[in-house]
A and B are shown apart, each in its own frame.
Chain A
Amino acid sequence: MLNHKYDRDIPSAEITRESDYLSRRRFLKNLSIGAAGAAFLAACRSSGVTQPALDATPGSTPAAAYTGGQRDELGRAITSEQSITTFNNYYEFSTNKDGIGELSRNLVTSPWQVEVGGLVHQPRTFDVDELIRLFPPEERIYRMRCVEGWSMIIPWQGFQLSKLIDAVEPMTSARYIHFVALHDPVQMPGQESDYFPWPYEEGLRLDEARNELTLLSTGLYGRPLSPQNGAPIRLVVPWKYGYKSIKAIVKIEFREEQPATFWNTIAPDEYGFYSNVNPAVDHPRWSQNTERIIGQPVRIATLPFNGYGDQVRSLYEGMDLKENH
């Protein structure tokens, strides 16, 4: 009955048009074309990716052009850049969403290095500029569903995490990836709070990390990421609650054991390791059945896996998603 009500409440603009549905098929196709980058990666491997900086042309940071996509594959209009850059959850700076932009303005994001190591054959520290040259950014319009019950549709630029994973050649024992964000209380005043287990850390199972949807983002709306959005490089995992998409990454480590994650450490019952968007599994303290898209006043039904079920459902086959929330 509820669902019926929702169907009626969805503005006509939100209903997927056939053309959008078709473009979604194209989008999926494009994703697989993205795998053409594999050829490039193969080249990397053969030439020894340990020194890709030598291959990359210095000083030519490709502009991640925003191609002007206005809707996601479900036909939902993208959120305004103004909202995306002024409404941020980034406790490293403040718990006040609209104060992050100002507080983070002077964060030094260049030069910036990301240490990639652990159970890999080719551990390396990459400069972010170098990553952008090695893995040219592509555009992905993704829904971002926050555990607090709001969502945005964001035109990211970035590259598939799988490309970086292939480049460093994980060992067969690697089953998880651990991500660590910058820990610098001088630049990030929120980290002076003892209420939180700094630094921010996150984790994915290796197959989740390799999924074609999982992105390392360096830009949005065609501009390099602003500090408040996770500059210079952040994770984007669109079928999981927003807090999984860790910002300002300095370390990526391949592991055999499941890594600790920031919110799971704080409240294990409330924030599971998987944190897949799931309207059927409430946060113990609030419901997850609906959400409000920022900029729109009406609540809509939250979709399982945030609407990316076709691409990710198989990752969790046979798993109890309530148990493994």
Chain B
Amino acid sequence: MRVRHIFWFMVIMHAGCLIPLAWLGAGYFFGRLGADPISALEQFSGRIAISLLTATLLVHPLASLLKQPLIMKARRPLGLYTFAYVLLHVLILVGLDYRLDIPLLVTSYVDKPFIWFGAATSLILAALAITSFAWWRQRMGVWWGRLHRLIYLAALLDLAHFFLVVKGNLLSLSGNLARPSIYAALILLLLLLRLPVFRHHPCPDISTHTDDT
């Protein structure tokens, strides 16, 4: 892959991240999101967020597998887009659905586990987004990498949030579990790839040559 190729790769990545936003915005303003547009916005923004989170996790293994370190350039923007959709998801809930009625939000959700899993995911992603700048990276040294490994925790918390928010029962494997199950399978696979056994290239953005795959 050459620089020219990575340019188009990045163009497609940015477009892929922005099109859902445009689609949502247009759908909302032109009334094309069905009978309950607020729920549609909440659910759709959440699904995009967990999709992008999965895509962010996919970057490193993909770069290793394809031996294309330039792909790593997509990781930071994907992570930031993930956070942007998480933020949108929260703003829709708080601003549109609950009309900034914080006391009502608190009484409605304070004892509901799904909201805390979601909130923890958001906080981790916020911390990662803020510290994603080069300035922070230099400042934090070895701690930067350690902090950013929390994205795996965020992914697991996000999965719990998703499983708890759909109707069904994980223990009896019944209910509306198909969608979160797909994300769970993908994310767990990507977590598995982080185990030392599978990690021949701890830093593929530097090492490009491999013959032991």
Binding site for B on A (CB under 8 A): 1-2, 5, 82-83, 86-87, 91, 95, 97-98, 148, 150, 193, 195-197, 263, 265-267, 270, 282, 285-287, 289-290, 292, 294-295, 297-299
Q: Determine the distance from Cα of A86 to Cα of B36 in the docked complex, in whole angstroms.
A: 10
Q: A292 contacts which chain B residues (CB < 8 A)?
A: 36, 38, 97
Binding site for A on B (CB under 8 A): 34-36, 38-39, 96-99, 101, 103-104, 107-109, 111-114, 164-165, 167-169, 172-178
Q: B112 contacts which chain A residues (CB < 8 A)?
A: 282, 285-287
Which residue of chain A has its CB nearest to the CB of B34? A98
- The reply to whether B35 and A87 form a contact with Cβ atoms under 8 Å apart is yes
- The reply to whether A195 and B173 form a contact with Cβ atoms under 8 Å apart is yes
Q: Beyond the given A266-B172, A287-B112, please list 6 additional residue pairs across the A-B interface where CB-CB is below 8 A.
A: A5-B104, A91-B176, A150-B36, A195-B174, A297-B38, A299-B101
Which residue of chain A has its CB nearest to the CB of B115? A286
Question: Which residue from B108, B164, B174 sits with its C-beta under 8 Å from A290?
Answer: B108
- Given that A195-B177, A266-B169, A285-B112 are contacting pairs, would A298 and B99 also be in contact in the complex, using a CB cutoff of 8 Å? yes
Q: B167 contacts which chain A residues (CB < 8 A)?
A: 148, 263, 266-267, 270
- Given that A195-B177, A267-B168, A287-B112 are contacting pairs, would A1 and B103 also be in contact in the complex, using a CB cutoff of 8 Å? yes
- The reply to whether B174 and A2 form a contact with Cβ atoms under 8 Å apart is no
Question: Which residue from A196, A197, A299 sits with its C-beta under 8 Å from B99?
Answer: A299
- The reply to whether A266 and B35 form a contact with Cβ atoms under 8 Å apart is no
- The reply to whether B169 and A289 form a contact with Cβ atoms under 8 Å apart is no
- The reply to whether A5 and B35 form a contact with Cβ atoms under 8 Å apart is no
- Given that A5-B101, A286-B114, A287-B112 are contacting pairs, would A197 and B107 also be in contact in the complex, using a CB cutoff of 8 Å? no
- Given that A195-B176, A267-B175, A299-B104 are contacting pairs, would A285 and B164 also be in contact in the complex, using a CB cutoff of 8 Å? yes
- Given that A266-B172, A298-B99, A299-B99 are contacting pairs, would A2 and B35 also be in contact in the complex, using a CB cutoff of 8 Å? no
Q: B35 contacts which chain A residues (CB < 8 A)?
A: 82-83, 86-87, 97-98, 294-295
- Given that A83-B35, A86-B35 are contacting pairs, would A193 and B178 also be in contact in the complex, using a CB cutoff of 8 Å? yes
Q: Determine the distance from Cα of A287 to Cα of B164 in the docked complex, in whole angstroms.
A: 13
Max chain A CB contacts within 10 Å: which of B98, B101, B114?
B101
Max chain B CB contacts within 10 Å: which of A196, A265, A285?
A285
Counting from the closest, the 7 A-B pairs by CB-CB distance are A87-B35, A287-B108, A83-B35, A267-B169, A266-B174, A98-B34, A294-B35
